[in-house]
Amino acid sequence: MGNIMLKSNKNNKDKRIKFGYGSLPPGGVKIAEALRTLLEKKDFNSITTAEIAEASGVNEALIYKYFGSKRELLHSLIDDFHREYVEDMQLRLKGIKGALNKLRKLIWEHINLYDTERVYARVVLIEARTHPGFFESSTYNLVREYTRLFKDIINEGINNGEIRDDISVWSIKQVILGAIEHVCLPNVIFSKKIFADDLTEDICNMIFYGIRRKD
Amino acid sequence: MGNIMLKSNKNNKDKRIKFGYGSLPPGGVKIAEALRTLLEKKDFNSITTAEIAEASGVNEALIYKYFGSKRELLHSLIDDFHREYVEDMQLRLKGIKGALNKLRKLIWEHINLYDTERVYARVVLIEARTHPGFFESSTYNLVREYTRLFKDIINEGINNGEIRDDISVWSIKQVILGAIEHVCLPNVIFSKKIFADDLTEDICNMIFYGIRRKD
Amino acid sequence: MGNIMLKSNKNNKDKRIKFGYGSLPPGGVKIAEALRTLLEKKDFNSITTAEIAEASGVNEALIYKYFGSKRELLHSLIDDFHREYVEDMQLRLKGIKGALNKLRKLIWEHINLYDTERVYARVVLIEARTHPGFFESSTYNLVREYTRLFKDIINEGINNGEIRDDISVWSIKQVILGAIEHVCLPNVIFSKKIFADDLTEDICNMIFYGIRRKD
Amino acid sequence: MGNIMLKSNKNNKDKRIKFGYGSLPPGGVKIAEALRTLLEKKDFNSITTAEIAEASGVNEALIYKYFGSKRELLHSLIDDFHREYVEDMQLRLKGIKGALNKLRKLIWEHINLYDTERVYARVVLIEARTHPGFFESSTYNLVREYTRLFKDIINEGINNGEIRDDISVWSIKQVILGAIEHVCLPNVIFSKKIFADDLTEDICNMIFYGIRRKD
DNA sequence: CATGAATGAGCATTCATTCAT
DNA sequence: TATGAATGAATGCTCATTCAT
């Protein structure tokens, strides 16, 4: 398991806008950025539209012009980020040989994401899912798209003999994602560093042993 | 994982209410009990004073007479419970020989508490500390009192040679409490059972190995 | 048909509270009265809660304490008035002999009500029913209770031979109420005097001729 | 009651749109048409400028370029329609002999208008006049122009001895227009068919009897 | 001629809190 | 000890309207 460390992890040195706000007009971008910034300090429910408007220097009504509602703004934020992440991931998996290796890479990236993108992590892990209707949201659809990546690789592993074929793909995916969340959540909540290398090691040790085809 | 169902720790001989509400007048007790019950179903922020008043059958204004504010009522709840718990704990440690054995007992009780007192666990682990000013609250003072128990035992271990003397007491205590929270929090959040026996075993295995004096 | 006349009909000389506001606390009464007054000048939808609060000299929130919502406040107003009216009516019918005579009395009172209680008339005839959900409201239940009065008398007439028995009670009631509304509505909208005597005469002439048993 | 379906009064030789929108640029026409269409389904107050813009496929701001305000757009709609109607009417009266015959024709056309142009009828009868300032509007000026038609014919009748000269022209006009509105309004409100032939008959029977010069 | 962007003022409603009794 | 009455300050959200381009 990862070690506990107390220093905060603000190692973002690049100034690229983390969430790529599609083709929004300036006001829209400012709104999204404002929420993102506010989310670093307090949770979504206690951020008011008035605050978002003030922080972004635009009128409150503009939030509704561009995003429809406060919650849709949140989802828009996550979706944009998520979409970009999933696309990236497909590229980052290129050139990796073997399903288990790909899986390891995927796990590392996932954990690392939680480490480097705290706002995203907290929102996805806590805020979004506590809200009824999350599982009908577009955000959840993106989550499903992402899990397809997992399933594809697991299937690849089953087909080429790396992974045993007597456990359902769904179960394997669930166990992996469950494990990742389980180990990351406390650190996300307590704002502690997550050591992606160590955690990936631990999780792969445990799970790969169980799913690897023995024959 | 182990699956032994632990008996609940309600060994109070009398049928005194769970949280022992000091010397509150009847109205105050009803208010505190009402909040406690409500906390089983929803989080503190979404419980209104009107709800509390209705559930307790008293007037809303009485909450302010007795507790000053909604949040102070919450803290009062936790404090009472906490105080009782700390007192109990001192008794339960009687007759146990060896600092490490006492520590193990303390760890088990702490984990078991999180398992059996979900309301308390959720409030302490999540709600209370997300609020600015928590660290100035009386509740936090009680937390400090509780940690003194830990420190006393650790010191005892150092003095009698069970525990190495080259790690600070504070660090040891931090690691232990951090570990406990770390393993309990996800289960508290996702409302899953916490297996105190197994978790105590795991934590002690890991930590005692590191802190035991090898001489 | 009634004649058209332009002078306004503010002949309320008694200062009794027209709507009897049950046992509401002073604030509640003031709110209800304020809305009633405002309704004399503008329609319900364009009256804001802020206006009601200001007019009644109380806080906006009190509207919600006592009535739950702006619309429920409106319904409460109508209901109270309606209830009183229906009770009154039962008394006023005492001592009248013959179903047709009672019917005539009921028609006259109904028309006269629309003449003397313009706010009530406009709300009931226009505002309330344009709102979806009106037919599920408590107000509509009172309307049904009122129509039972009609039906009872019609039945009485059928039983004692005054009224033919080959038209359904429901149809007769519908025709009468339809006629009353039909003749009163324009005058309510245009704030013109309604001559209850003449209109009652006209309606009874037409309808009684058709429903009277010829045998 | 009669039930002759009256042919619609669309005798415009060209396929020019119903409301002839003066010399408006294309955008203006689209806006006016959009509002007209929307008015068929909901009342003016609950139609938003955003809806109008969307329905007309133009930008919201254009409404203000062309019409100044939402309400002026409404008035512009009515005015255009009204103007055309008054012009038409003058032609339709050609060749009719006798003031009372002309009056009858005018009454029939007016009632028929309310039957065939429901949007116009509802707006003129209900929406426009509930708004303060209606009587200062250009729309009201058109109404006055229209009533001059009435007065001219009444005067003609007085001069040629058809109509008694001891009732003021104004009163006669008022009574006639009042009667028309009186009988049409409920049907407009309840969206029921208006039988122009029958209603014209009834109104003329009643009023002509009273105003005809007995010699 | 037309638009994208932005806004001020207001909306019904909520809620922790206060105060006179 | 307890309460009924009342409220200030928001809250998420809407909409007619303006303005620079």
CA atom of C53 to C1′ atom of F8, Å: 14
For strand F, which nucleotides have at least one atom less than 7 Å from a protein CB? 1-20
Identify the closest residue of chain A to B178 by CA–CA distance: A4
Q: For residue D186, give the nearest of C4, C43, C182 by CB distance.
A: C182
Spatial distance from the CA of D38 to the C1' of F15 (Å): 17
Confidence of residue C3 (pLDDT cuts 50, 70, 90): very low
- Determine the nucleotide nearest to D47 by Cα–C1' distance: F15
Q: Min CA distance, B111 vs chain A (Å)?
A: 15
Q: Is A55 within 7 A of strand E by CB distance?
A: no
**pLDDT at res. B128:** 65
Query: Could you identify the residue written with the tokens 């109508």?
Result: C78
Q: How would you label B9-32 residue by residue, b for 16+ Cβ within 10 Å and e otherwise? A: beeeeeeeebbbbeebeebbbbbb
Residues of D in contact with C128 (CB under 8 A): none
Give backbone dihedrals phi and psi of B69, rounded to 5 degrees, phi first: -160, 170
Q: Does D202 touch chain C (CB under 8 A)?
A: no
As averages over each run of 10 residues, the pLDDT of chain D (215 residues) reads: 30 40 76 94 92 95 94 90 89 94 95 93 77 70 84 94 89 85 80 90 84 78
Give C185→chain D minimum CA distance, Å.
7
Task: Let me know if chains C and D touch, i.e. at least 3 Cβ pairs under 8 angstroms.
Answer: yes
* Structure confidence at residue C6 (pLDDT): 26
Contacting residues of A for B186, CB less than 8 Å apart: 181-182, 185-186
Question: Which residue has its C-alpha nearest to nucleotide F11's C1'?
Answer: A48
| Distance between the alpha carbon (CA) of D163 and the C1' atom of F21, Å | 64
Q: Does B181 reach chain A within 8 Å, measured CB to CB?
A: yes
Q: Do B178 and A45 touch (CB under 8 A)?
A: no
Calculate mean pLDDT across residues C107-111: 94
The reply to whether residue B130 touches residue A43, judged by beta carbons under 8 angstroms, is: yes
Q: What is the DSSP string of C70-106?
A: HHHHHHHHHHHHHHHHHHHHHHHTTT--SHHHHHHHH
* pLDDT tens digits, one per residue of C138-158: 777 777 888 899 999 999 999
Q: What is the pLDDT of residues A105-139, one digit of tens each?
A: 999 999 999 999 999 998 888 776 666 677 777 77
| Cβ–Cβ contact C190 with D under 8 A | yes
CA D185 to chain centre: 13
The identity of residue B119, as a single letter, is V
- Beta carbons of D182 and C181 less than 8 Å apart: no
Round and report the angstrom distance from CA (B55) to C1' (F1).
Answer: 19
Asked if the model's pLDDT at residue C12 lies above 60, the reply is: no
Name the nt closest to B61 by C-alpha to C1': F3
CB atoms within 10 A of CB A185: 20
Strand E close to D48 by CB, under 7 A: no
The C-alpha atoms of residue A172 and residue A106 are separated, in whole angstroms, by 14
Tokens 């309307």 correspond to what residue? C143
Per-residue pLDDT at B123: 87
Tell me if A183 sits within 8 A of A197, measured CB to CB: no
- The CA distance from C128 to C109, in Å, is 21
Which of B175, B179, B189 lies nearest to residue A185, judging by beta carbons?
Answer: B189
List pLDDT tens digits, range A37-89: 999 888 898 899 999 999 999 999 999 999 999 999 999 998 888 888 988 99
SS3 of residue D95 by DSSP:
coil
pLDDT value for C57: 94
User: What pLDDT sits at residue D131?
Assistant: 66
Any atom of strand F under 7 A from CB of B206?
Answer: no
Q: How far is B126 from chain A (nearest CA, A)?
A: 9
C with A: 3 or more CB pairs under 8 Å? no
CB of A85 nearer than 7 A to strand F: no
Q: Cβ contacts (< 8 Å) between C182 and chain D: which residues?
A: 186
Closest by alpha carbon to B151, among B175, B133, B181, B186? B175
For residue A53, which nucleotide's C1' is closest to its Cα?
E7
Question: What is the average per-residue pLDDT within A13-35?
Answer: 71
Domains of chain A: 70-211 (1.10.357.10)
Chain D residues touching residue C187 (CB < 8 angstroms): 182
Other C-beta atoms closer than 10 Å to the C-beta of A163 total 23
**Which of B134, B182, B205 best probes binding to A when mutated, by most A CB atoms within 10 angstroms?**
B182
In single-letter form, the type of residue at position D190 comes to F
Asked if C158 and C165 count as a contact pair (C-beta separation under 8 A), the reply is yes
Residues from chain D contacting residue C45 (CB–CB below 8 Å): 45
Strand partners, D163: D212
Pair B211, B172: CB distance under 8 Å: yes
d(CA A36, CA A122): 11
User: Does residue C61 sit at the D interface (CB-CB below 8 Å)?
Assistant: no
pLDDT of residue D140: 76
pLDDT at A19: 56
Which pLDDT score, from 0 to 100, does residue C10 have? 33
| Angstrom distance (rounded) from CA C112 to CA C195 | 8
Output the distance from C52 CA to F18 C1' rounded to whole Å: 31
Q: How far apart are the first and last CA of chain B?
A: 34
Q: Give, as ranges, the nucleotides of chain E with any atom within 7 Å of a protein CB.
A: 1-20
Chain C residues 18-47 with CB within 8 Å of chain D: 43, 45-46
A162 touches A100 (CB < 8 A): yes
Instruction: Output the DSSP codes for A11-63.
Output: -----S-SS--TT--HHHHHHHHHHHHHHTTS-GGG--HHHHHHHHTS-HHHH
Please report, as a single letter, which amino acid is at residue A206: M
What pLDDT score was predicted for residue D14? 35
Mean residue pLDDT of chain C comes to 83
- Nearest-CA distance from D52 to chain C in Å? 21
Taking the Cβ of residue C125 and every Cβ of chain D, the question of whether any pair is shorter than 8 Å is answered with no
A47-68 burial, b for 16+ CB within 10 Å, e for fewer? bebeebbebbebeeebbeebbe
Residue C26 burial by Cβ neighbours in a 10 Å radius (0-12, 13-18, 19+): exposed
Amino acid code (one letter) for A178: G
CB D172 within 8 Å of CB D163: yes
Query: Where are the alpha helices (H) located in A93-137, listed in sequence order?
Result: 99-116, 118-122, 128-130
Q: In Å, how far are A102, A156, A213, C119 from A160, measured between CA atoms? A: 13, 6, 10, 81
Closest nt to A52 (CA→C1')? F12
CB A65 within 7 Å, strand E: yes
Is it the case that residue A3 has pLDDT exceeding 60? no
Nucleic strand E within 7 A of Cβ A86: no
Question: D179 touching C, CB under 8 A?
Answer: yes
- The reply to whether residue B181 touches residue A185, judged by beta carbons under 8 angstroms, is no
How far separated are the first and last CA of chain A, in Å rounded? 29
**CA atoms of D78 and D113, how far apart (whole Å):** 13
C68 contact D CB<8A: no
Residues of chain B in contact with residue A178, where contact means CB-CB under 8 angstroms, are none
Q: Is the pLDDT of residue C133 over 90?
A: no
- Regarding chains B and D, contact by 3 or more CB pairs under 8 A is answered as no
Per-residue pLDDT reduced to its tens digit, A158-171? 999 999 888 888 88
Pick from A73, A15, A192, A106: which is nearest to B175 by CA? A192
**Residue ranges of chain B whose pLDDT lies below 70:** 1-23, 128-133, 135, 215
User: Nearest-CA neighbor of B65 among B35, B33, B39, B31?
Assistant: B31
pLDDT in tens, A168-215: 888 888 888 888 887 888 788 778 899 999 989 888 887 888 888 877
Look over chain A and give the mean of its residue pLDDT values, rounded to a whole number: 83
**Overall average pLDDT of the C196-212 stretch:** 85
Å separating the CA of residue A59 from the C1' of nucleotide E8: 9
B42 touches strand E (CB under 7 A): no
- Write down how long chain D is: 215
| Chain centroid to CA B72 | 18
B186 shares contact with chain A (CB less than 8 Å): yes
Q: How far is the CA of B53 from the C1' of F1 (A)?
A: 16
